[in-house]
Amino acid sequence: MALFCDVALPVPLDQTFTYAVNGVVPVVGARVLVPFSGQRLMGVVVRVHEDAPVEEFEIKPVQQVLDDAALLPEELMKLAGWIAQYYVAPLGEVLRGMLPLAAEVKRHFSYRIAEQGRKVLYEGAMKGSSRRSKLSVEEQDREYSVLNYLEGGEAAKMSALRSATGANKGLLEGMVRKKWLLREVIAEERDARRLEKVAVLVAEARLPKLNENQTAILAELAAVGGRMRVRDLRLSLTRAGVPESTLGTLVKRGLVVVEEVAEEFHLGGVGAHGKKHAHEHALNEAQMEALGTIAAAMERGGFRPHLLYGITGSGKTSVYFAAMQRALDAGKSALLLVPEIGLTPAMAGQMVAAFGGEVALLHSQLTPDERAEQWHRIRRGEARIVVGTRSAVFAPMVDLGLVIVDEEHDSSYKQEETPRYHGRDVAVMRAKFNEAVVVLGSATPSLESWSNAEKGRYARVEMRARVADRPMPLVELVDMREEFRETGQEQIFSRRLIEETQATLDRGEQVILLLNRRGYSSTVLCRSCGEKIECENCAVSMTYHKPVSGNDAIAQPGQRLECHYCGSRRSVPKACPKCESEHLYFLGAGSQQGEERLQELFPTARIGRMDRDTVRGRSDMERLLARLHGGEINLLVGTQMIAKGHDIHGVTLVGVIGADFALGLPDFRAAERVFQLLTQVSGRAGRGDLIGKVLVQTYHPEHYAIQFAAKHDYPGFVAKEMQYRRWMHYPPFAVLANVVIQSEKLEEATAWAGTLGRWFQKARLDKVRVLGPAAAPIVKLKRIYRFHFVLKAERRQTLGETLRAMLAYAETQEIARRNLVVDVDAVHLM
């Protein structure tokens, strides 16, 4: 009886594909290589069966089975199925995101001598055929060496053949075509622990005379505690224009040594700073109670979701640690999801400090090899504590007992490409399939999670006071309309904020200022006709970035405009592209301008800036945080990055500039976002022994999001916001999907939007509200035109059925699947 297997492939099609089993019978959950429209793709077997497919077209055989056991455990296969169903996403694309990257299936070619080759070798026919051969004599000799080398009959790897005979791939493949050689493809698993180089500052060394570049390297190293990955160091040197050879010089002079150590997470000095680690605190009463609830659920066993609502500074991290320790004690593993490891390196650092070699880290800055390595460590049960970002929710944990989602409200948990899953919600399902306990933690829980707690689906655990009886900071609103009336000037910083900042700096304390826009100016506007300079690829304003004046004093004229969506750049035009007026001016101050202004206002302050332009990777962040912790920086300005969970004890003043920009956006989550941002950034003040203060500059002082944030009243905000959501039939009172129709051709996009619009009308859906078609808020993105529908339904099943029916109809209309983006539980409607 012929055997077949159904394979899920990473292609944007909602179906699996059938292949004939050829030799090795794969198990469900194993990876296979199969031919697919001229390419070779890696897929996952989802079914093995004997039902010969009815279609007349030829069923191709599986080329290679890569795993003899299921690579994905059963509960992850189930989870994949759930995601495909819930988010209306192709199963193969879901599975692709779950596997360690394709890097490890890089095929190794090996070659074996064939009958024909043996004949050639024995007959010594090489010379005889040379007249007919296109090959040079040299190449023919090389072929002969290859045959000689393989004569024993063993297969040899391409790399071995290359070094033994000098043959390259082309030559070997030529011999395969002549049937002199047989080629074999081997997929090797590689997970040997790799070594990496770390530059270490030699502390005792007496400093000889150094040049500027050498000093720069030493300062860089000193700033992060004397140790740094050579890889990271190189990056920042390149950025600073220091030649790479300088490091070598320092090594030669004995000032720096380069060590080889097993690759792991480096703390780069972050984590300690004289403070206790989160796991070293004796828990207070509220923390004990929270831990008690979670631990009891783990003891009982089985699936149990919790919402841990704990205000900023209530010590949630210590509870996570204690709960994870309990999981380990019970012989189970624990998974901690964080929004972005690079932004809160202290969290990962403390995990390593507490759990050492048990920890595996999974995040986007790993290379494919590193990721594969971590993946296998977890799969083998060597790492039972996993800390990672969104996709770590798929870590192949052994005996998973506990899943924690820190800052569960954070929108970075939502994946903005197919499959568009929400890491938090998948974490809950993951825990369900694993019969594990799950904890969603936040000071500002999402309305979805809060409502689940209200309904009793999640157990609610609360920590409503800061540790050590620290008070919440006082929040003061500064009405910027009044400020303008009184000063007659549009200023970034109000007089009140300047005054408080000066006073705080004078007391030797630290200040953080949130200016949630990067760049110098967010818009270039024509004063004559009102035209904004837009990106040529996207329907958005371009941001002005002031060139950083280098060492030479000559001002650079090239004023750079940058699109924050597609990254394209151009220079500021001489005149308005529409009316040719030369009166172009800049509008909307960003963090870069904020920094410049602060330098004028506080010339003696030690100012730092934290945004995507100054923080590119984890090491930048660590360095900046180390400088803050050490007091080297006493005034920090930055975008929402500064609002993340940093725990800097010297900060007593937080200033907020324009956190309410977002209130004007066409997005039903705008108020929730503003409330979250204000609460999170306010939470950075007064975390040490001194009481903190927050000044919020706003044009909407009466807005409820701002009012409730000023009073630290999350429950109050939620009650109000829930009313609005209920009236408007928005989540959590309805389920929602955003459907985007996209095409590079405007006519195509509009025509398809019309086609689907008519279908929605005809379908007369009484259980689904359809808004649209409308131009998407960003109608053109990366040269692609976008229209959208927003679908709202009371029941999830109705929504799913409607979306599937729409996709089926679209297929009959020859609208390709890749032109339709289905975003279930969309977080951004842009």
Counted residue by residue, the chain has a size of: 830
Interaction between residue 445 and ligand ADP (CB under 6 A): no
Query: Could you tell me how many helices (H) and strands (E) the chain has, helices first?
Result: 25, 33
Decide: 438 and 307 in contact? Cβ < 8 Å: no
What, of Zn ion, ligand ADP, none, does residue 278 touch, CB below 5 to 8 Å by kind?
Answer: ligand ADP
What, of ligand ADP, Zn ion, none, does residue 318 touch, CB below 5 to 8 Å by kind?
Answer: ligand ADP
Residue 224 structure tokens: 């992060």
Smaller CB distance to ligand ADP: residue 278 or 361?
278
Half-sphere exposure (CA, 13 Å, Cβ side) for 478?
Answer: 26
Smaller CB distance to Zn ion: residue 160 or 579?
579
- Interface with Zn ion: number of residues (CB under 5 A): 15
Closest Cα to residue 440, out of 277, 313, 304, 315? 304
Q: Is 629 helix (H, G, I), strand (E, B) or coil?
A: helix
Shortest Å, Cβ 535 to Zn ion: 3
What, of Zn ion, ligand ADP, none, does residue 667 touch, CB below 5 to 8 Å by kind?
Answer: none
Tokens 């090389």 correspond to 142
What CA–CA distance (Å, rounded) separates 561 from 570? 5
Tokens 């590193």 correspond to 370
- Interface with ligand ADP: number of residues (CB under 6 A): 20
What, of ligand ADP, Zn ion, none, does residue 314 touch, CB below 5 to 8 Å by kind?
Answer: ligand ADP
Tokens 């051709």 correspond to 745
659-718 residues in contact with ligand ADP (CB under 6 A) are 687
563 marked among binding-site residues: yes
Interaction between residue 647 and ligand ADP (CB under 6 A): yes
541-570 residues in contact with Zn ion (CB under 5 A) are 563, 565-566, 568
Binding map of ligand ADP across residues 248-277, x = CB under 6 A, - = no contact: ---------------------------xx-
Interaction between residue 534 and Zn ion (CB under 5 A): no
Tokens 């809160």 correspond to 344
Which range, of 27-35, 514-522, 531-539, 760-768, touches Zn ion by CB under 5 A?
A: 531-539
What, of Zn ion, ligand ADP, none, does residue 502 touch, CB below 5 to 8 Å by kind?
Answer: none
Which range, of 111-119, 310-318, 522-530, 651-659, touches ligand ADP by CB under 6 A?
A: 310-318
580-609 residues in contact with Zn ion (CB under 5 A) are 581
Q: Among 16, 64, 236, 317, which residue interacts with ligand ADP (rule: CB under 6 A)?
A: 317
535 marked among binding-site residues: yes
Smaller CB distance to Zn ion: residue 457 or 569?
569
Q: Among 266, 316, 376, 545, which residue interacts with ligand ADP (rule: CB under 6 A)?
A: 316
Which range, of 239-247, 316-324, 379-387, 388-396, touches ligand ADP by CB under 6 A?
A: 316-324
Q: What is the dihedral of CA 682, 687, 688, 691, to 10 degrees?
A: 50
Interaction between residue 195 and Zn ion (CB under 5 A): no
Interaction between residue 312 and ligand ADP (CB under 6 A): yes
732-791 residues in contact with ligand ADP (CB under 6 A) are none
Closest Cα to residue 754, out of 810, 808, 803? 810
Tell me how crowded residue 305 is: count the other CB atoms within 10 A of its CB. 21
Closest Cα to residue 337, out of 193, 229, 236, 438? 438
Shortest Å, Cβ 267 to ligand ADP: 16
- φ and ψ at 725, to 5 degrees? -65, -35
5 marked among binding-site residues: no
Does the CA dihedral 112-115-118-120 come out positive or negative?
negative
Closest Cα to residue 473, out of 648, 275, 677, 695? 695
Residue 531 structure tokens: 């035209």
What, of Zn ion, ligand ADP, none, does residue 528 touch, CB below 5 to 8 Å by kind?
Answer: Zn ion
Terminal C-alpha separation, the chain: 53
- φ and ψ at 660, to 5 degrees? -95, 10
Half-sphere exposure (CA, 13 Å, Cβ side) for 506?
Answer: 6
Does the CA dihedral 244-246-249-255 come out positive or negative?
negative
Q: For residue 602, how far is the Cα from the chain centroid? A: 36
Interaction between residue 25 and Zn ion (CB under 5 A): no
What CA–CA distance (Å, rounded) separates 611 from 484? 28
Interaction between residue 503 and ligand ADP (CB under 6 A): no
Interaction between residue 409 and ligand ADP (CB under 6 A): no
Smaller CB distance to Zn ion: residue 440 or 576?
576
Q: Which residues make up the interface to ligand ADP (CB under 6 A)?
A: 275-276, 278, 281, 283-284, 287, 310, 312-318, 467-468, 645, 647, 687
Q: Which residues make up the interface to Zn ion (CB under 5 A)?
A: 526, 528-529, 531, 535, 537-538, 563, 565-566, 568, 576, 578-579, 581
- Annotation: binding site: 526, 529, 535, 538, 563, 566, 576, 579
